[in-house]
Chains A and B, each alone.
Chain A
Amino acid sequence: SQKIEQNSEALNIQEGKTATLTCNYTNYSPAYLQWYRQDPGRGPVFLLLIRENEKEKRKERLKVTFDTTLKQSLFHITASQPADSATYLCALPPGGGADGLTFGKGTHLIIQP
């Protein structure tokens, strides 16, 4: 099964700076990778999906990269704002033809004004 590693410690970033979150995975390379945002007491909200043949994906202030050689995805938030403070989850398909998603533990991002 897939194992996903995300920074378990909180990431503190000053408002206006770029926040960069890391997702590393072991074992096989997935066909795609997804990033979700989760606020306290709420369900995750989908942000971006990047496929294995895509190096980079952008959506407004968000950018995701996918390096299948390093087995790593980076998630960037540019011009960060306090409202971006949340937990960000990386998710991959479990492999072996199975459905559902395997999630990392998430990184808690704090944008300080």
Chain B
Amino acid sequence: DTGVSQDPRHKITKRGQNVTFRCDPISEHNRLYWYRQTLGQGPEFLTYFQNEAQLEKSRLLSDRFSAERPKGSFSTLEIQRTEQGDSAMYLCASSVNGAPNTEAFFGQGTRLTVV
């Protein structure tokens, strides 16, 4: 399967713990996005990478959130001191080089539950 891969699929954590999610985009895609989706809502943009450079961050991305893409390939999203409001589906997407208005390929998401 050469699609976007996310790990883990599900994560249950206690409030106050740190969690880290991983995304492996399609190999030839240099653009990588993170979105968050809560029940009954559409995905909300969090941040965007072009290669290893983080070019945009949403105001939704508080100081407790950090994302990296160290070698321009896979990316990680870390949430520190998790809160119950962080419970959501975290989606990663990638798209082809130099094409800002083509389709985004999404992974299956990581479902985070903070208890």
Residues of A within 8 A of B (CB): 4, 8, 31-32, 34, 36, 41-46, 49, 51, 89, 91, 93-94, 98-106
Contacts and interface: CB of A to CB of B under 8 A. Distances in A.
Query: Which of A34, A49, A94, A100 is the most central at the interface, judged by chain B CB atoms within 10 Å of its CB?
Result: A100
Interface in B84-115: 91, 93, 100-109, 111
B56 A98 contact: yes
Please tell me the size bucket of the interface on B. Answer: 20 to 34
Contact of A44 (B31, B56, B106): B106
B105 A46 contact: yes
Given A36-B106, A91-B42, A93-B101, 16 more contacts: A31-B101, A41-B111, A43-B106, A43-B107, A45-B106, A46-B104, A93-B100, A94-B45, A99-B31, A99-B33, A100-B33, A100-B35, A100-B58, A101-B45, A103-B42, A104-B42
A44 B111 CA distance: 14
Q: Which of B33, B42, B101 lies at the interface centre, i.e. has the most chain A CB atoms within 10 A of its CB?
A: B42
Interface of A is mostly: loop
Contact of B91 (A31, A43, A49, A105): A43
Contact of B43 (A41, A44, A49): A44
Q: Which 6 interchain pairs have the tightest Cβ spacing?
A: A103-B42, A43-B106, A46-B103, A100-B45, A32-B101, A103-B43
Contacts of B35: 100
Contacts of B108: 41-43
B103 A99 contact: no
30 contacts: A8-B40, A32-B101, A34-B103, A34-B104, A36-B106, A41-B109, A41-B111, A43-B91, A43-B93, A44-B43, A44-B91, A44-B104, A46-B104, A51-B101, A89-B42, A91-B42, A93-B100, A98-B56, A99-B33, A99-B55, A99-B56, A99-B100, A100-B35, A100-B48, A100-B56, A100-B58, A103-B42, A103-B43, A105-B42, A106-B42
